[in-house]
Structure 1
Amino acid sequence: MSTLHVCPLSRLASTVALTGASHIVTLINMGTPVERPASIPVSRHLFIGVSDITEPLEGHVLPGEEHVTRLLDFVHGWEREKPLVVHCYAGISRSTAAAFITACALSPTRDEQAIAETLRRASPTATPNPRLVATADALLGRDGRMVAAIASIGRGAEAFEGEPFMLPLA
């Protein structure tokens, strides 16, 4: 079974090493230095320079359709033989949104609520970025079900950064 692993930037190298991941998705502010582990070729590392915001804010990059489209294209190209690691700075908002979006995209008949509940059990701090989720919901034609599912699990526990966790795809 393929798995998604979510972690903060500070645990990227150790999470890739521990899981044997073949692909990485980075969602982080532009200009933040990210050292790609040597085991991951450039072609298997998607960097999305986006801020963790839900409304326009001067000096920041608002998540949008182009970011989610790039994520969806990348994960559809992942052969799923080895794990995928998704990270942001804290491993709480952008990365958990991307993991939820990936699980929904790669399991189109799986119930969004079940995926959201699995996410909450895996990470008590997960607080998926609602703008990323809403954008993906529209692109995937989920008719608001992704948004509702994430709203139902509520905000995660407060933390400076989340603990790495695994989200199964099925």
Structure 2
Amino acid sequence: MDTYKSPMNRVEPPLIATEREALAGWLDYHRAELLSKLDGLTDEQADRRVVPSLNTLHGLVRHLTKVEYVWFMLIIEGSDEPAPFGWPERVDGDFLLDDGESVEADAARFVAACERSREIFARVDLDDVRTHRRIGELDVRWIMIHMLEEYAQHNGHADILRELIDGTTQS
């Protein structure tokens, strides 16, 4: 049975850095942390629902792929390309896992989305202002802090899901 191995390495964020380097470093740390929760799992384990909600480890990877798209490609870059997993028309398409994609394939999509987000972030300033259709005007700094909040929250979910799947409490 094949098991997943993350292609991302967790690198501790710098202890002394500019604001931009610190935000980017912490976000990359959390991105790698998410994929580390899948290490050693089969597709069946990563897809297993162990809580009443739709949350699965595989679903979290897909969800954060969508989050990367929304904030970096849609809001910062202004792209009009289709969102992953049918969003926004398909509610919870990222968590449904009914399209037959493997963890490996969706993790590769996640890694590609993160790389694209890094490229977009490299072209903007923290003070650049963007508009979100519900929130209104916000700067890139706010988006980066929000992304850290998203990852911290979902990495906590991933910790619990992983422990319920196989008892692993650290990865």
Q: TM-score, normalised by structure 2?
A: 0.24
Ranked by relative contact order (alpha carbons within 8 Å, sequence separation 6 or more), the top structure is: 1
Higher helix share: 2
Larger strand proportion of the pair: 1
Instruction: Return the index of the structure with the highest Cα Rg.
Output: 2
